[in-house]
Structure 1
Amino acid sequence: MMTDTIDPSRQVSSFVEESLAFAPVFEEFGIDYCCGGDVSLAAACDAADADIDDVRSELRTVQETETDESFDWESLSELTDHIVSTHHDRLREELPALEALVHKVANVHGEDHPELEAVEREFVALAEEMQTHIQEEEDDLFPIARKIDAGESLTGDEIRTIEREVEGFEDDHEATAERLERLSELTDDYAVPESACASYRSMLDRLAELERDTHLHVHKENNVLFPAVASTFGADT
């Protein structure tokens, strides 16, 4: 059993670095542990208007559970491979399929639910941006991470590429978070209308799952991968 370390001054992202099992608690309370995970638990609770005693209680319940959901990696190559296989490959499969479903639901139910036009527009932009983003990561940053793993020295251009790309990727993550938040708002936090058909329900379930998975995905990059890569040459992220 893990030691009770639910300290209000502890950085939010460190909880999920310790165990992925903490992530659903932060999702439940609307606490940003990925893009905004570099603040204290107390500050994060204030920002989310969440009762810190309730949050700490839920975190402690997870902490006292015997299951081990730690996110361990042995090398930068293993970490990048994990991100590709667990998140990037899933996005390549899910985004086109979900986009087709969003179009279908908007066409069928748009008259009764005019907000679906905005959902469709927001999701199409999100899907395009995310697919471009993950390909750029795999083309530009991940090969350099694997080169570091191999013990090869980086050129000045490669170091500048890391600094430039990491900053750009973090900006992309912020933009993605804003689009996901907009989708959540448009669907009233993915609430299912009484008249919703199976396709409508499936769309909302999959949008909610996309948001949850993207939060984990971004956490692994912003709070684990990027600092690990930057630390190899003394840069700050």
Structure 2
Amino acid sequence: MTTLTTQSTLADIVTARPSLARVLEAHGLDYCCGGATTLQDACDNLQLDATAVLTDLTANSSDETPPEWATMNVAALVDHLEATHHRYLWAEMPRLSALADKVRTVHGDRHPELADIAACYGTLRADMEPHLAKEERVLFPMIRELSAANTAPSFHCGSLNNPISVMLTEHDTVGELLARLRELTNGYQPPADGCASYATLFTGLAELEADTHLHVHKENNVLFPAVVALEQQLAS
């Protein structure tokens, strides 16, 4: 993609120019689960001025070398996902759980919303950890097998479309929980009387949201379509 237009999909914008993810997020535009939507349609859905958003994207756009993950084969891409996003989540989610409990204990009397924040984050973690495990133990090994095959392998699940459809649904759930966290935290803005731990928690949650959005984008809009296309090619 060389030119940004209102007919560019949100996924194509971020795949070609990953730095623009933060601009889309600032406008509340979902480029991961909603990546197939054009900029125009996404703006219309939120009653935004697509031309104004395009101007903002263009102003923040620069010539970027396409990221390596955008052109990796499917086996290399699952290796990349595990080594970056999965490793990050396995380490970060327990840290944020402990931090959320600490902040709620100290500030919960003055900020009862912390109970809802901790509960929402707990649900998010409870959803994400088995999701990561299913990818690492089931889906990703099958993708590696597919990548090395000369003909379509026979999997216990049938077509890889089947587990992929489950992953897509679970990604939607994660997206909804992240949106709820953003709402509960007022856009991850700590209150004026919040301590350093309070600010650290909200910074960590904001970073987790941004990383997960990019993670889901790579799977929904790059990896999974490539896997489906490869399986169809090997089956023909």
- Which residue matches 1:112? 110
Tell me the SS of whatever aligns to 1:157. coil
Instruction: State the distance in 2 between where 1:218 and 1:123 align.
Output: 18
Name the amino acid aligned to 1:53.
T
Instruction: State the distance in 1 between where 2:41 and 2:97 align.
Output: 36
TM-score for the superposition, normalised by structure 2:
0.92
TM-score for the superposition, normalised by structure 1:
0.92
1:147 deviates by 1.2
Q: Assess if the C-alpha contact under 8 Å between 2:124 and 2:177 holds in 1.
A: yes
> Superposed, which structure 2 residues align to 1:153-172 within 5 Å?
153-158=151-156, 160=158, 162-172=160-170
- Which residue matches 1:183? 181
Name the amino acid aligned to 2:172.
E
Determine which of 10, 14, 26 is the counterpart of 1:28.
26
1:78 deviates by 1.0
Instruction: State the distance in 2 between where 1:7 and 1:140 align.
Output: 39
Determine which of 138, 141, 148 is the counterpart of 2:139.
141
Tell me the SS of whatever aligns to 1:9. coil
Q: Assess if the C-alpha contact under 8 Å between 1:99 and 1:124 holds in 2.
A: yes
Tell me the SS of whatever aligns to 2:34. coil
Name the amino acid aligned to 1:68.
T
Instruction: State the distance in 1 between where 2:153 and 2:161 align.
Output: 13
Q: Assess if the C-alpha contact under 8 Å between 1:35 and 1:173 holds in 2.
A: yes
> Superposed, which structure 2 residues align to 1:121-136 within 5 Å?
121-136=119-134
Distance 1:25 1:158, change over 3 A: farther
- Which residue matches 1:197? 195
> Superposed, which structure 2 residues align to 1:5-24 within 5 Å?
5-24=3-22
Instruction: State the distance in 1 between where 2:14 and 2:64 align.
Output: 14
Q: Assess if the C-alpha contact under 8 Å between 1:144 and 1:158 holds in 2.
A: no
- Counting matched residue pairs gives 232
Instruction: State the distance in 1 between where 2:66 and 2:187 align.
Output: 27
Q: Assess if the C-alpha contact under 8 Å between 2:9 and 2:35 holds in 1.
A: yes
> Superposed, which structure 2 residues align to 1:38-77 within 5 Å?
38-63=36-61, 65-68=62-65, 70=67, 71-77=69-75
Determine which of 76, 79, 96 is the counterpart of 1:81.
79
Instruction: State the distance in 1 between where 2:217 and 2:94 align.
Output: 23
- The superposition leaves residues 27-79 of structure 1 with CA deviations (integer Å, 9 ceiling, x where unpaired) of 1111001101111110111223332122111221233x244353433321110
1:22 deviates by 1.7
Tell me the SS of whatever aligns to 1:160. coil
Cα RMSD (Å) of the superposition? 1.7
Name the amino acid aligned to 1:206.
G
1:192 deviates by 1.6
- The superposition leaves residues 177-217 of structure 1 with CA deviations (integer Å, 9 ceiling, x where unpaired) of 11111111111111120000000000011111111111100
Q: Assess if the C-alpha contact under 8 Å between 1:29 and 1:48 holds in 2.
A: no
